[in-house]
Each structure stands twice: as C-alpha cells, then as structure tokens.
C-alpha cells in the first residue's frame, strides 16, 4: 500500500473520532495515533510521509479553518501541505506571537536580533533525531517546531539543531510551548 493511500485510509478512519472535539483534545488524540504510527512503520522517513499526509487529510476534512488556537497551530505545523504549515507559521508571528515566551520587556533586552525563517531541518533531543521547522534564529538562540508529535521537552533539556549556514548548534531549552521550543545556544559567539 502506498504511503498516500495509507494516510487517506487513516484519515477516513479517525476523522469521526476527532470531528467534534476541541483542538486540544484533537492534539492529544493525534499524539497517541502518531506514537503508534511511529512504532508500526519501518523507517522514520515512512513515518514522516504518512504522518504529514494523514494530518493534511484530517485538516482538509475539517474544512481547513483559520488558526485560532495554539494546539490547532501545532497540528497544522505537522501537515504535508504548505498552506497548512504556512498558516501555522503566520499565526506564530501574528496573533500567537511569542505571548508566553517572553514579555515585551524581555524582548527588548535581547542582545541579538531574531530573523524569522521557515526552514525544515533536523534536531536531536537527548541524542534522538527528529525533523523540525526552524521558526526563527539569532546569534544566541532559535525557536523550532517539532514536526513529529512528541512531548515538548522541558526547560533545561539539551538539544542540537542544524542551522543553515551555521552548522550544528548545541543549545538548551529555555521555553517549551505550543508555539515551539525556544533554545539558547551554548556558544553565542559561534
């Protein structure tokens, strides 16, 4: 069976279970489904293809409503369709912009300006690889959105992330929210 066909069959099967739930409840259900998919599929590549197509199909069946909730943005960020994850990124930098990451006073104290980006890259959380989207980056840190549904790493967790034109950067989680994972790089001068 093709990955696309499997994703569509999964969407047909699971849609009735999520259709009348809140975005937070949908995210919890999807976390469980994705955990099982990750175990059932043979490779991480297969998992990512099926997972992203499955999420896209579910969002489409829901009518692709505009994003109004952090859990909804997290679900959209895992979609295979550019308009979905693009909407999640736009929401991150619009209404949901870093509200629980830092107060405006803390933002003003940042030493290095942040650059908004939208790049798929890789990270390692405690040595385990995972694909993510690099949402913003500065000389001293970055914000990433995991593409695979997984528990958010708590502050203090060591992470390595591939930063385009910056190579692999080691950092530590300083915040973790539905809007992404904020990292402070170990060596800001690099």
Mean of the pLDDT values across residues 12-17?
Answer: 96
More confident residue, 102 or 144: 144
Model confidence band, residue 93 (pLDDT cutoffs 50, 70, 90): low
DSSP 97: T
| Sole residue written with tokens 């910056």 | 166
Q: Is the pLDDT of residue 97 over 60?
A: no
Is the pLDDT assigned to residue 139 strictly greater than 70?
yes
- Which residues sit opposite 122 in a β-bridge? 131
pLDDT at 116: 79
Question: Residue 143: enclosing H or E segment and its boundaries?
Answer: strand 141-146
Is residue 78 a contact partner of residue 52, using CB atoms and an 8 Å limit? Answer: yes
Report residue 161's pLDDT band, with 50, 70 and 90 as the boundaries: very high
Average pLDDT, the chain: 81
Contact 46, 3 (CB under 8 A): yes
Alpha-carbon span 181 to 156, nearest angstrom: 11
Q: Does the reported pTM lie above 0.75?
A: no
Between 42 and 189, the higher pLDDT residue: 42
pLDDT score of 121: 86
pLDDT, one tens digit per residue, over 33-67 is 887 887 788 877 788 788 889 999 999 999 999 99
Distance CA 135, CA 143 (A): 5
In contact, 132 and 146? CB cutoff 8 Å: yes
Check whether 72 has a pLDDT greater than 80. Answer: yes
Give the pLDDT band of residue 26 (cuts 50, 70, 90): very high
Q: Token pair of 100, please? A: 């629980």
Distance CA 119, CA 102 (A): 23
Q: How far is CA 174 from CA 124, 177, 185, in A?
A: 16, 10, 10
Q: What percent of the chain has pLDDT over 70?
A: 83
Query: pLDDT at residue 144 above 70?
Result: yes
pLDDT at 133 over 80: yes
In this model, does residue 7 exceed pLDDT 90?
yes
Taking the C-alpha atoms of residue 145 and residue 76, their distance in angstroms, rounded to an integer, is: 11
Q: How far apart are CA 74 and CA 56, in angstroms?
A: 12
């Amino acid at each position: 069976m093709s990955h696309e066909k499997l994703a569509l069959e999964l969407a047909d099967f699971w849609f009735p279970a999520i259709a009348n739930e809140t975005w937070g409840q949908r995210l919890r259900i999807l976390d469980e489904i994705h955990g099982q998919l990750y175990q059932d599929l043979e490779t991480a590549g297969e998992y990512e293809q099926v997972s992203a197509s499955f999420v896209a199909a579910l969002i489409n069946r829901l009518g692709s409503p505009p994003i109004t909730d952090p859990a909804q943005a997290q679900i959209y960020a895992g979609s295979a369709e550019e308009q979905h994850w693009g909407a999640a990124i736009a929401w991150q930098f619009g209404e949901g912009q870093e509200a629980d990451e830092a107060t405006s006073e803390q933002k003003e104290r940042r030493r290095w300006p942040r650059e908004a980006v939208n790049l798929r890259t890789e990270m390692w959380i405690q040595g385990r690889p995972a694909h993510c989207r690099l949402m913003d980056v500065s000389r001293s840190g970055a914000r990433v959105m995991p593409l695979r549904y997984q528990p958010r790493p708590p502050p203090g967790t060591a992470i390595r992330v591939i930063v385009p034109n910056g190579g692999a950067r080691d950092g530590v989680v300083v915040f973790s929210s539905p809007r992404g994972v904020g990292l402070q790089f170990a060596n800001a001068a690099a």
